């Protein structure tokens, strides 16, 4: 007895005829009939009352089909669990201190290594260093190099923040702004922005931030809200929010460099990505 025989039994019960079940299963009718007969022999009991043109489940058949549904559900659950475990075994683990460099890395990996999957989490920079060192993440993304001989550090990107406002906003006519210009202005803010949270608290202590956890909801809200938002200049986000006017923040603190960290003895797959990022 195998899973396919149980699937065939359930299909015959659903269709009511061998011919319709054979057509649905892409089998010949004689092959399906022989398979069902072998199943009945293994179970030691007939499962159908057979008529001229139709088959109907008998008592044993109804019990077999009921349990067959359970077996098929459990078999599918097994496939799903194994598939998820296999996917996770292929996934590259990333700890990042900010979202934009993660988007940058993801876009670059999709372009060059389309079969790779990233699993990410936002961490503080100290934890990123610790987890790169102990191997619990494959990559770390940090604002500063981790200067140990066992860790490789590669410049991933430099990000500069601007504000983006509706065209009729008073700041839309400015060529640039300073923190003193926007401290006290209310902003719509994506909650999961890592190290940039401290930036906002430190340089804009009088502003109120309306936080949104879900990125898709944030994007939809930003499209309709009159509140200013922060935007990045990385290529994958350069053309986001086309209906808004971008105004650069003219402060050195609004620019940050991010480094890709990995162990020197990382897997060949990780090393290949690090080398490619370093060259590109």
Which residues lie closer than 8 Å to 201 by C-beta, 6 or more apart?
A: none
222-242 pLDDT, tens per residue? 988 999 999 988 877 777 889
Which residues lie closer than 8 Å to 18 by C-beta, 6 or more apart?
A: 12, 29, 32, 33, 36, 55
pLDDT at 262: 96
- Which parts of the chain register pLDDT below 70? 83-90
Locate 270 and state its tokens. 């990780």
pLDDT at 1: 78
Query: How do the domains of the chain map onto residue ranges?
Result: 3-87, 97-275
pLDDT at 81: 78
What gap in Å lies between CA 241 and CA 244, rounded to an integer?
Answer: 6
Which residues lie closer than 8 Å to 273 by C-beta, 6 or more apart?
A: 92, 109, 112, 113, 116, 139
3-87 and 97-275 have identical folds: no
Locate 55 and state its tokens. 């088959």
Locate 90 and state its tokens. 């292929």
The CATH fold assigned to 3-87 is Arc Repressor Mutant, subunit A (1.10.10)
CB atoms within 10 A of CB 156: 23
Q: How many CA atoms, within 13 angstroms, populate the side-chain half-sphere of residue 13?
A: 21
What gap in Å lies between CA 90 and CA 137, rounded to an integer?
Answer: 13
97-275 classified as CATH 3.40.190.290: yes
pLDDT at 191: 86
What gap in Å lies between CA 179 and CA 202, rounded to an integer?
Answer: 10
Whether the Cβ atoms of residue 17 and residue 36 lie closer than 8 Å to each other: no
pLDDT at 238: 75
pLDDT at 87: 59
Whole-prediction pTM value?
0.63
């Amino acid at each position: 007895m195998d899973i396919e025989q149980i699937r065939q039994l359930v299909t015959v019960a659903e269709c009511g005829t061998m011919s319709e079940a054979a057509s649905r299963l892409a089998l010949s009718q004689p092959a399906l009939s022989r398979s069902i007969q072998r199943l009945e022999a293994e179970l030691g009991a007939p499962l159908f009352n057979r008529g001229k043109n139709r088959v109907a489940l008998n008592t044993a058949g109804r019990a077999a089909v009921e349990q067959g549904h359970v077996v098929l559900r459990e078999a599918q659950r097994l496939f799903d669990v194994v598939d998820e475990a296999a996917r996770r075994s292929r996934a590259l683990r990333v700890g990042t201190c900010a979202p934009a460099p993660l988007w940058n890395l993801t876009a670059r990996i999709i372009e060059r290594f389309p079969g790779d999957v990233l699993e990410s989490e936002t961490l503080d920079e100290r934890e990123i260093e610790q987890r790169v060192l102990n191997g619990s993440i494959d990559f770390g993304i940090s604002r500063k190099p981790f200067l140990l001989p066992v860790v490789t550090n590669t410049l991933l990107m430099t990000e500069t923040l601007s504000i983006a406002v509706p065209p009729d906003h008073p700041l839309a006519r400015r060529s640039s702004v300073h923190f003193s210009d926007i401290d006290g202005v209310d902003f719509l803010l994506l909650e999961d922005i890592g190290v940039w949270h401290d930036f906002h608290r430190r340089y804009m202590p009088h502003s109120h931030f309306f936080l949104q956890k879900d990125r898709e909801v944030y994007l939809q809200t930003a499209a309709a809200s009159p509140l200013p938002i922060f935007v990045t200049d990385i290529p994958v986000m350069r053309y986001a929010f086309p209906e808004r006017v971008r105004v650069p923040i003219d402060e050195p603190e609004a620019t940050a460099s991010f480094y890709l960290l990995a162990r020197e003895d990382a897997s060949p797959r990780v090393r290949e990505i690090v080398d490619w990022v370093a060259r590109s």
